[in-house]
């Protein structure tokens, strides 16, 4: 049985007490339902019925994933059709400001994570939760599967002395949690006054890999083209801390790596020794 996402039946799940709220939504390219409709389209349909859509927010790589390179920041702009702001949370600001939230009393998050600590979308969520706690804004997270399953946990916990935008809370490299579960952990351990609601999935099981969910893979970021990429990312992304390329910009990022100074034959001999 296919996984049913919260965005697949948002009107049914939407809490009665949250009807009519002024909503800001944090989305990216993989914010889609099981029919591949983007969440923004669904929010637009429900605008004026369930809530009032007042702003959109985007993480690293942009609201639509248009900034391909790894560290390219982007600027906020006005949505050309809806006439509402699209705020960048990977530019001058990583965290929503008071001004960004002044017309919002509910912050909706619908992001597809890939299950590794240094994938930055969960840290955009973390900072958004911090801002929402500070400015008394309700947070609603639409849960999604951990694509590399919710059972396997690997790698060390983050050393608090090395907190950064690729790790802001003490979790393992491969954390084994859904984005909704991470939001709950962040609330419980860091933001106890954050008013958090998780809208749950149906039919998801912890041992599921993404290719067993019945959902279509949509790239959450430009260099995450397949489930295979997500599977090896927790290990191969560590190469970013070296002078070896991890294959970004190729057709198989993180599946291949190399550097001009590597002697391939000697390297293979060392690996196979």
Question: Which of the 8 DSSP states describes residue 202?
Answer: B
Of the pLDDT bands very low, low, confident and very high (cuts 50, 70, 90), residue 242 is very high
Of the pLDDT bands very low, low, confident and very high (cuts 50, 70, 90), residue 40 is very high
Mean pLDDT of 241-255: 91
Of the pLDDT bands very low, low, confident and very high (cuts 50, 70, 90), residue 130 is very high
User: Does some domain include residue 72?
Assistant: yes
pLDDT, residue 63, reads 83
User: Does some domain include residue 157?
Assistant: yes
User: Does some domain include residue 67?
Assistant: yes
Window from 85-89, 177-181, 199-203, 245-249 with minimum mean pLDDT = 245-249
pLDDT, residue 69, reads 64
**Residue 156, CA atoms < 13 Å, CB-side half-sphere:** 5
What CATH number is associated with residue 106?
A: 3.40.50.12170
User: Does some domain include residue 87?
Assistant: yes
Sheet arrangement for strand 138-142 = 77-78, 85-88, 51-58, 21-27, 106-110, 138-142, 196-199
Q: Is the confidence at residue 70, as pLDDT, over 70?
A: no
Q: What is the mean pLDDT of the chain?
A: 95
> Which pair of structure tokens corresponds to residue 267?
């390297």
User: Does some domain include residue 156?
Assistant: yes
What is the domain range of residue 84? 6-218
pLDDT, residue 73, reads 87
Of the pLDDT bands very low, low, confident and very high (cuts 50, 70, 90), residue 74 is confident
How far out from the chain centre does Cα 74 lie?
17
User: Does some domain include residue 165?
Assistant: yes
Question: Which of the 8 DSSP states describes residue 100?
Answer: T
pLDDT, residue 64, reads 83
Q: Is the confidence at residue 75, as pLDDT, over 80?
A: yes
User: Does some domain include residue 267?
Assistant: no
Mean pLDDT of 167-180: 97
- β-pairing verdict for 77-78 and 51-58: unpaired
| 132-149 residue pLDDT tens | 999 999 999 999 999 999
pLDDT, residue 68, reads 66
Percent of the chain at pLDDT exceeding 90: 88
User: Does some domain include residue 18?
Assistant: yes
Of the pLDDT bands very low, low, confident and very high (cuts 50, 70, 90), residue 241 is confident
Mean pLDDT of 235-249: 91
Q: Is the confidence at residue 217, as pLDDT, over 70?
A: yes
Mean pLDDT of 33-58: 97
pLDDT, residue 184, reads 99
Q: How far apart are CA 204 and CA 181, in angstroms?
A: 13
Residues whose CB falls within 8 Å of the CB of residue 200, separated by 6 or more in sequence, listed in order: 6, 13, 143, 180
SS3 12: helix
The structural domain count of the chain equals 1
pLDDT, residue 72, reads 81
């Amino acid at each position: 049985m296919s996984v049913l996402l919260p965005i697949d039946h948002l009107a049914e799940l939407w809490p009665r007490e949250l009807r009519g709220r002024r909503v800001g939504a944090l989305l990216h390219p993989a914010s889609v339902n099981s029919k591949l409709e983007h969440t923004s389209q669904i929010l637009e349909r429900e605008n004026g019925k369930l809530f009032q859509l007042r702003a959109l927010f985007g993480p690293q790589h942009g609201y639509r994933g248009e900034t391909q390179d790894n560290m390219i920041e982007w600027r906020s702009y006005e949505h050309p059709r809806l006439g509402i702001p699209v705020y960048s949370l990977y530019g001058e600001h990583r965290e929503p400001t008071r001004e960004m939230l002044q017309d919002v009393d509910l912050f909706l998050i619908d992001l597809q994570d890939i299950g590794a600590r240094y994938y930055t979308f969960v840290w955009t969520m973390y900072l958004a939760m911090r801002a929402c706690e500070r400015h008394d804004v309700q947070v609603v997270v639409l849960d999604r599967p951990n694509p590399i399953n919710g059972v396997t946990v690997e790698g060390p916990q983050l050393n608090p002395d090395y907190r950064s935008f690729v790790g802001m809370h003490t979790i393992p490299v491969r954390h084994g949690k859904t984005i909704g579960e991470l939001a709950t952990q962040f609330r419980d351990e860091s933001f106890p006054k954050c008013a958090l609601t998780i809208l749950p999935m149906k039919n998801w099981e912890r041992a599921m890999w993404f290719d067993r969910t019945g959902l279509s893979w949509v790239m959450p970021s430009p260099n995450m083209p397949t489930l295979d990429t997500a599977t090896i990312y927790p290990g191969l992304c560590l190469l970013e801390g070296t002078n070896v390329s991890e294959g970004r910009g190729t057709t198989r990022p993180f599946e291949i790596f190399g550097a001009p100074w590597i002697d391939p034959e000697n390297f293979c001999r060392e690996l196979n020794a």
